[in-house]
Each structure stands twice: as C-alpha cells, then as structure tokens.
Structure 1
Amino acid sequence: MAQLPPLRALQIFEAFGRLGTVHATAQELNVTPGAVSQQLRLLEDHLEMVLLVKDGRRAALTPVARGYHELIAQGFGRFALAQDYIVEHRLAQELTISCLPTLLQRWLNPLLPAFQLATSDSSLRLIAQDLEPDSHMLEHTFRLTYGEVGRRYTHSRVLFTDFCFPAASPEFLARHPEALTPEGLARLPLIGIDWGAQYTTEPHWRDWFLSQLATEPPPLRHVAVYSASGMGLEAAAAGQGAVLAQWSFARDDLAAGRLVRLSQDRLYLPDPYFVCWGQTTLNQPVARHFLDWLMQIIKPIREQTRQQN
C-alpha cells in the first residue's frame, strides 16, 4: 500500500476543492493563506504530480485532481459521519446511574417510574455496586453514594441525611414483647449490618444501645451480619431477629406491615447521602433533566425524614 499523504495536507486540499479559493479555505480552517498554499505544495510533492493550474488570477484543480478530490471528499464525509455518531452517542437518551445496592433497590428504584413517565424517550442503565468508581472515570454517569466519599467526586450535592431505629417482624415482636425496651432488646437475637472497610461511620447496634442505655450494653448476640442493608431488612422481615433499620430503606416494609418499629427514638446517620457526577455528565440533556428532577423530589423526602416519628 502506497504511503498516504499527511492528513493535514489532505484536509486543506479537500476544503480548497470544495470552496475554490485559498482565502476561503484559510478562513474555514482558521489558518493563514500561506499555510494553505504550503500544504497544497506539500501534497503535490508527496504525489509527485501537479494538482493546481492557474485559471486567470485564480488557481483551479486539474482534471486528475478533481477526480482525486472527489474520492478524498468521500473520506472526509465519512469522518464527519463518524463525528456525528460520537456526538449522538454522547447525547444519547440512555442514562447510566451507579448506586449503592440498597440505596438503588429500596430508595431510588421506587421513585424512578415518575421520572420515566416524564421522560418517556429515555432509557436507564442502573448499576448496583458497593465499590466506588474512579472519580475521573465518571464521565457520563451519576453515582449515588454515602458519606465523605461523595465529596471526592468532581461534582456532588447532598441528597438527605437518614436515621435508624430497631425494627422486627410482627411475629418476632409477638414472641418477644420485651423487644420494646432497650434492656430487653439487648438480650435478643440481633441482625448486624456492616458495609465494609470503606464506610466507617454508619451506625451499629452498639451505637444504638449507647444512645439508649445509661451504661455500656451487655455482650450482644448477632445471629447474622450482612454487608447490605437490604439483606438485613429481608432477614428481619423473615423473623430472623431485630435489625437496626434505616427509615428510607424500611418505610415501605413498615407501611406494608412486614416490619414494625420497636422504638420511636431515632439515631441519625453522621453523614448524608450524595448524588455525584463527572465533568461531562451534564452534557446529556437527559442527565440535566434527571438531576433537576432528583433535586425537586428530594425536598419532600427531606421533610419526611425530619418529621417522621
């Protein structure tokens, strides 16, 4: 295969053949007329043939050069189509949302039908993952997460600050009515939740009992410890034990009667939940719409979180 000419020379040749003058070519490509003439001579030297002839005071393409230009123009047309493809991909209506698993399952997912109703032409790609994405790779994606990690992303906003309380199945409470007092609850089977080493501020049972008892709690009996809050709530609804439930994750189970609240006191999480996004995320119209929608629907949820007893 013959060595191709420099791409810059081909670009200038394509523009010259389309526009007809050195001056117009220089204006379109934001270069000097001298640079245009230099690149055209460079192309002639590379091809070892004359491409331009004088036609009065203007330069014109030779017959062979016109055929060559037609083929070159097709190539640059394909370049333009490729660029349009990339732009369409970046502005596509598919929105990617990465989320902590229980935050996605128990909090965001029930809210999404309202968003999808308002943006019927959008498509959502939902990723449930505990591992935080690289903040520099969060290009066209939102990340919903908890705690100080949310402030490490390029852009972030606070969603809400949740609170927790003991909860259990109605059957568990019927078997263990002493669960309604901190002293009685401390002696019963407890379901633990541990999000892992990267999250160090979420409340645990010991924090709850320290807030309720005047003294250090006795040794606690954990029948199981789950890495995700949603699994702990399911275990509690199945009667395995009492769980330290977050309001935002447990409210549907409470409303349906699958769980009952064992105390009206509350222990607030020390950190809020965040929505985070990358440098180019909001280039998507659907992403801007999602963020606006999310910040609107979060207002009454914040109020419910403050007022719920």
Structure 2
Amino acid sequence: MNTALPPLRALQAFEAFGRLGSVNSAARALGVTPGAISQQLKLLESHVGLPLFVKDGRRAMLTPAARSYHDLISQGFERLLLAQDYIVSHRLNDELTISGLPTLLQKWLNPILHRFRAAAGEIPIRIVATHQESDPRTLEQSFRLTYGKAAQPYAHSRVLFTDHCFPVCSPEYLERHPEARDPAALARLPLIDIDWGLAYSAVPRWGNWFAAEGVSPGPVRPVAVHSLSGLALEAAAAGQGAVLAQASFVASDLQSGRLLRLSHRRLQMPDPYVICWGPMTLGRMPARKFLDWMMLETKALRGENVKAS
C-alpha cells in the first residue's frame, strides 16, 4: 500500500461521493463532470491499493473499509471548512489590531487615540505593545508602528514623522536644582539615560546634547540607564534625574506640567517612525480609516502644510 498521501482532488471526490451517495451528485457539488469524478475515484483506489467500491446492481457503494476511511477523511474536510470559516470571519472582523513599540504606543498613540474614535466611530481596537517585529508574512490584518530600518521588510509602509529630543525633568527636580537650566551645571547633576542598543548607535545621547551646547563634561555617568523610554520618563517624573526625551513622548506630560523642558536646544532623531501594513490590511474599511487618520494626524509633524477640510 502506498503510504504517501493521495492527491487532494481524489480525496475531495471521494469525500463528496461518500457523503452524497452518487457520482452525479458529487460532480454537481464540485462543479465537474461525472467522468472527472469517476477518474479521481479510480486514481484513489489505485493509490491505496485496496478495493473501495462494490457494485449493487448499477450503483456503486463503499466497502466497509472504505466507509471507515471516508469517516476519517470527512473529519479532515470538516476541519478544513472550519478553518476557512475562521479565516473569512477574521478577514471580515471589524477589530483593528495595532502592534508597535511600547513607548510609542503608550506615550504618543494612546493619548491621541480618542481623536480617531471621535472621527471613525466605535471601532474595536486591539493594542499590542512589543519590541518584537511582526513577521511580514503574517501582517495581513493589522498595522505595525516601528522605527527606522525595522520597516524595510514589510510590504507596505509610510513615514509618520521624524522626532527630536531635548532635556526634561520634574518640577520637584528643578526646585532642588534650579541650576539645571544651565547646560554646564546640568552635566554635574543626576541624569537618566536611555540605551537603545547597538543597532541604534546613532540615536542622540547625553554626550551629543552637551556637545551641541558647547559643553565638554567628560564621560557622562547617569544615575540610571533604561532600555525603555517610557521607564526613563517615569523615573524623571519621579524626580530621579533629568532625561533626554523625545518630543512625541513627552507632549502630554509637558502639557500637564508633570515634566518641564530645560532647554530650547533640540537634537533630531536620525530615522523616522513608520507605519507598516500587509497586502490585505487595507481591504477593510476600519483599516483604511485608521491609515487616513494617521497620515492626517502626523501631517504637521512631517512639516507639511495642513489645510482645513
């Protein structure tokens, strides 16, 4: 007996024949000719090396072994139908999934997301905060918000904005260290640093900012180094030190007075933030609405003229 799987078309013809009871009915169900069904049934019988059919007058019937074989195959086709139903419902699902870098979602997207809801209605949104980039082959029903070269593998992407950074601290910190507005003095005060990792060595650090201010403090020794910008900002808000913060991440904290800007000097990030999506993402209206809103929301950040509509 051949242990390799039979051709799928032969199995499909066999499943339809056993379920419907005749060659003609199976042919109508599959949209082929009765001759094509008969050919596939003979192919399957030859492949398995066992008789699958017996004649009852002019009518062909399944042998006892074939009936058991058909029951098992039917279970497989039922699972395939369930899988198809799942993927169709997934495609038609109005839920919008947005994956992105944790601090970008927490400190930039989340505070403005209510504006999208106001413009687009109550669209269910799933937010997935992770540094792990999505597999471009599976980004079919969602968006990915990422940074710089990480966007290159994705099928579709558009630049959102290029950020810049400047030093901030808490009101309590500035009260304890009023000299912090002087760059030369700030270099001697408690500082918090953000380590993006070796892959992002061009991202501005404290040494770059002091150099831009014409200050040479020597090696900067921060009191704490965080791998997440969000954690560094929370540490600064708690008064633990000043931090070189991205403008998009501190906008709401500056507005509320939770953090204060220490200098007008700013350094631009070397790469932009990018929104990415898969080949099928824009096939759904909620996704198209979200992309349109994102591009309009970030138009001013890209330095484009914003016209009232």
TM-score category of the 2 structures, normalised to the smaller one: 0.7 to 0.9
For 2:225, the equivalent position in structure 1 comes to 225
Q: Report what 1:171 is aligned to.
A: 172
Q: 1:115-152 CA distances to partner (integer Å, 9 max, x unpaired)?
A: 3442424241x222223334344343322111222223
Provide the alpha-carbon RMSD of the alignment.
3.7
C-alpha contact 2:95 2:123 (8 A) present in aligned 1: no
On the 8 A contact 1:12/1:25 being kept in 2, the answer is no
Which residues in structure 2 correspond to 1:296-307 (within 5 Å)?
296-303=296-303
Contact 1:202 1:270 in 2 (8 A): yes
Contact 2:55 2:61 in 1 (8 A): no
> How far 1:273 moved relative to its partner?
0.6
Residue correspondences, number: 287
- The share of aligned pairs that are identical, in percent, is 54
Deviation string, structure 1 residues 6-51 (Cα, Å, up to 9, x no partner): 753463463897995898678x35xx77534422555788433238
Contact kept? 1:171, 1:239, Cα under 8 Å: yes
Go from structure 1 to structure 2 and tell me whether the alpha carbon gap of 1:18 and 1:253 turns closer, same or farther (over 3 Å shift).
farther
Shift of 1:105: 0.5
Counterpart Cα distance in 1 of 2:101 and 2:27: 57
- The CA distance in 2 between the partners of 1:18 and 1:120, in whole Å, is 51
Query: For residue 155 of structure 2, what is the aligned residue in structure 1?
Result: 154
Structure 1 pair 85–101 and aligned structure 2 pair: CA distance change class (3 A): closer
The one-letter code matched in structure 1 to 2:164 is F
Residue range with higher mean Cα deviation, 137-146 or 279-288: 279-288
Report if the CA contact (8 A) 2:54-2:61 is conserved.
no
Shift of 1:211: 1.1
Residues 116 and 122 in structure 1, CA contact (< 8 A), matched pair in contact too: no
Report the secondary structure of 1:83's partner residue.
helix
Asked if 1 retains the 8 angstrom alpha-carbon contact of 2:162 and 2:273, the reply is: yes
Unaligned runs of 5+ in 2: 305-309
State how far apart, in whole Å, the 2-side matches of 1:296 and 1:261 are. 27
Which range is displaced more, 294-303 or 262-271?
294-303
2:88 is the alignment partner of 1:83: no
Q: Aligned equivalents of 1:63 and 1:47: distance in 2?
A: 8
- The alpha carbon displacement at 1:160 in A equals 0.5
Give the SS at the match of 1:294: helix
Query: What is the deviation of 1:270?
Result: 0.9
Show the counterpart of 1:128. 129
Residue 242 of structure 1: aligned partner: 242
Pairwise CA distance, 1:204: 0.4
Q: Which residue of 2 aligns with 1:104?
A: 105
In the other structure, the counterpart of 2:52 is: 47
Q: TM-score, normalised by structure 1?
A: 0.76
In the alignment, structure 1 segments of 5+ residues that lack a partner are 54-60, 305-309
Partner of 1:204: 205
Contact kept, 8 Å, 1:189 with 1:223, in 2: the verdict is yes
After the TM superposition, which of the residue ranges 218-227 and 102-111 deviates more from structure 2? 218-227
The residue that corresponds to 1:57 in the other structure is: none
2:307 aligned partner: none
